[in-house]
């Protein structure tokens, strides 16, 4: 099951193993780092993450920093002795062991990770790809909202990184503070009722912003918002690819047809028609590999009423017919 995750940060270090003392980062995120990041979002013994692509969305820039670390380690033998005898010291005194090291790290990083997961033998009878993908999508959404709120409310990051909302009255500020605090607490509580409560609180926030605030948007933020909109459009097209039309997109998102073409062209290098075909063929590949549906049924499922045309474009993409593609993947 394919999934796409956007990640960014002020600094990153994907350490080159041949550098023993000083930390030096690779130029880009490594597949192992991407897998670790996805595991941190959702790990389960029944799935294994596979990294397909890592898109570099920002210029590669290095900087040198000084970092503190301890020069000693606690040996496994020492730890075992303390555990067995119940006496002895099991700590490092940072003030005595601290030393400074140089590090060459990346700065202002921004990546998009394309990945999918394979089911493992450790999966339970009730586990299935759809279940895991739904959990991962919910986790990404929760992490995104929680991270935004924590940074906005707790760390007081620069407002230039966000939409700059200006309240029209003091009452709007108190209403917004109360609602956003409630949302943050509910995200941290995270019980069975939380998804419903969070949706209600988000709707209240949007209503307050829409009726009691004005906002300005920088060029950088417009680019960021375009990326979020692209994700929403892409998800909508994936969910409705069987009967999608550009008119449906216009009605759903309230934009003109040429806007969708420009947005998709900027993000993917493809027009709306080309991108839809890409999504349909991608879904067809998934169904060929993970279901026993007939090829004609798969063509209909992804939105191709003309079976001959489906065979033609699939063969052009893979240099294999759908039947040959399915057979080769299982050889």
Contact 11, 105 (CB under 8 A): yes
Q: Same structural domain for residues 106 and 153? A: no
Residue 228: burial class (beta carbons within 10 Å; 0-12, 13-18, 19+): exposed
Give the domain CATH number at 12.
3.30.70.2660
Kindly give the residue spans of alpha helices, DSSP state H, lying in the chain. 31-41, 76-85, 94-97, 129-150, 170-189, 194-212, 219-239, 246-253, 257-268, 272-290, 295-301, 307-318, 322-329
Q: Same structural domain for residues 46 and 123? A: yes
Sequence-separated contacts (24+) of 314-323 with Cβ below 8 Å? 314/281, 314/284, 317/281, 322/284, 322/288, 322/295, 322/298, 323/295
Q: Which residues 6+ apart lie within 8 Å of 324 measured at CB?
A: none
Q: Same structural domain for residues 60 and 147? A: no
Helices 322-329 and 307-318, packing angle to 10 deg:
50
Q: In the chain, which residues have pLDDT < 70? A: 1, 20-21, 138-164, 215-225, 329-331
Q: What is the span of the domain harbouring residue 311? A: 219-331
Q: Same structural domain for residues 184 and 234? A: no
Among residues 106, 127, 148, the one where a domain terminates is 127
Q: Same structural domain for residues 157 and 78? A: no
- Cα separation, 66 vs 105, in Å, equals 10
Q: How many CA atoms lie within 13 Å of 262's alpha carbon, on the beta-carbon side?
A: 6
Among residues 188, 216, 244, the one where a domain terminates is 216
Q: How far apart are the first and last CA of the chain?
A: 20
Count the domains in the chain.
Answer: 3
- Cα separation, 325 vs 323, in Å, equals 5
- The pTM of this model reads 0.43
Q: Same structural domain for residues 164 and 203? A: yes
Virtual torsion, Cα 102, 106, 107, 113, nearest 10 deg:
-150
Q: What pairs with residue 119 in β-bridges?
A: 47
Q: Same structural domain for residues 190 and 224? A: no
Contact 253, 290 (CB under 8 A): no
Check residue 159 and give its pLDDT.
Answer: 40
Q: How many CA atoms lie within 13 Å of 245's alpha carbon, on the beta-carbon side?
A: 4
Alpha-carbon Rg for the chain in angstroms: 25
Check residue 124 and give its pLDDT.
Answer: 85
Q: Same structural domain for residues 96 and 162? A: no
Q: Same structural domain for residues 230 and 308? A: yes
- β-bridge pairing 164-167 and 2-12: unpaired
* pLDDT one-digit tens code per residue, 217-258: 556 656 666 777 788 888 889 888 888 888 888 888 777 888
Q: Same structural domain for residues 119 and 27? A: yes
Give the domain CATH number at 243.
1.10.10.60
- Cα separation, 55 vs 304, in Å, equals 30
Q: Same structural domain for residues 34 and 72? A: yes
Q: What pairs with residue 102 in β-bridges?
A: 66
Q: Same structural domain for residues 194 and 144? A: yes
Chain centre to alpha carbon of residue 297 = 31
Among residues 102, 127, 152, the one where a domain terminates is 127
Q: Which residues 6+ apart lie within 8 Å of 19 measured at CB?
A: none
Please give the backbone phi and psi of residue 148, each rounded to the nearest 5 degrees, phi first. Answer: -60, -45
């Amino acid at each position: 099951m394919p999934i796409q995750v956007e990640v960014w940060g002020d600094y990153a270090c994907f350490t080159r193993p041949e550098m023993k003392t000083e930390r030096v980062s690779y130029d880009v995120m490594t597949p192992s780092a991407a897998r670790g990041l996805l595991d941190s979002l959702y790990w389960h013994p029944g799935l294994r993450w596979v990294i397909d692509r890592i898109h570099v969305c920002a210029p590669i820039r290095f900087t040198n920093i000084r970092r503190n670390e301890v020069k000693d380690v606690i040996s496994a033998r020492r730890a075992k002795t303390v555990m067995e005898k119940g006496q002895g010291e099991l700590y490092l005194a940072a003030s005595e062991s601290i030393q400074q090291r140089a590090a060459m790290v990346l700065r202002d990083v921004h990546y998009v990770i394309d990945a999918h997961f394979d089911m493992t033998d450790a999966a339970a009878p009730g586990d299935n790809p759809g279940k895991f993908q739904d959990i991962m999508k919910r986790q990404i959404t929760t992490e995104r909202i929680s991270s935004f709120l924590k940074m906005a409310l707790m760390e007081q990051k620069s407002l230039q990184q966000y939409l700059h909302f200006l309240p029209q009255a003091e009452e709007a500020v108190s209403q917004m503070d109360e609602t956003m605090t409630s949302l943050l607490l509910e995200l941290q509580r995270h019980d069975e009722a939380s998804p419903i409560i969070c949706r209600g609180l988000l709707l209240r926030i949007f209503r307050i912003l829409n009726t009691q605030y004005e906002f300005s948007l920088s060029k950088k933020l417009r680019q960021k918002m375009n990326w979020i909109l692209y994700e929403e459009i892409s998800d909508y097209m994936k969910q409705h690819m069987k009967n999608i039309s550009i008119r449906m997109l216009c009605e759903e998102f309230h934009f003109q047809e040429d806007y969708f073409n420009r947005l998709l062209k900027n993000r993917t290098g493809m027009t709306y028609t080309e991108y839809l075909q890409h999504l349909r063929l991608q879904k067809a590949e998934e169904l060929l590999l993970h279901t026993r549906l007939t090829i004609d049924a798969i063509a209909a499922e992804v939105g191709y009423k003309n079976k001959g045309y489906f065979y033609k474009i699939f063969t052009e993409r893979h240099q294999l017919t759908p039947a040959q593609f399915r057979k080769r993947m299982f050889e």
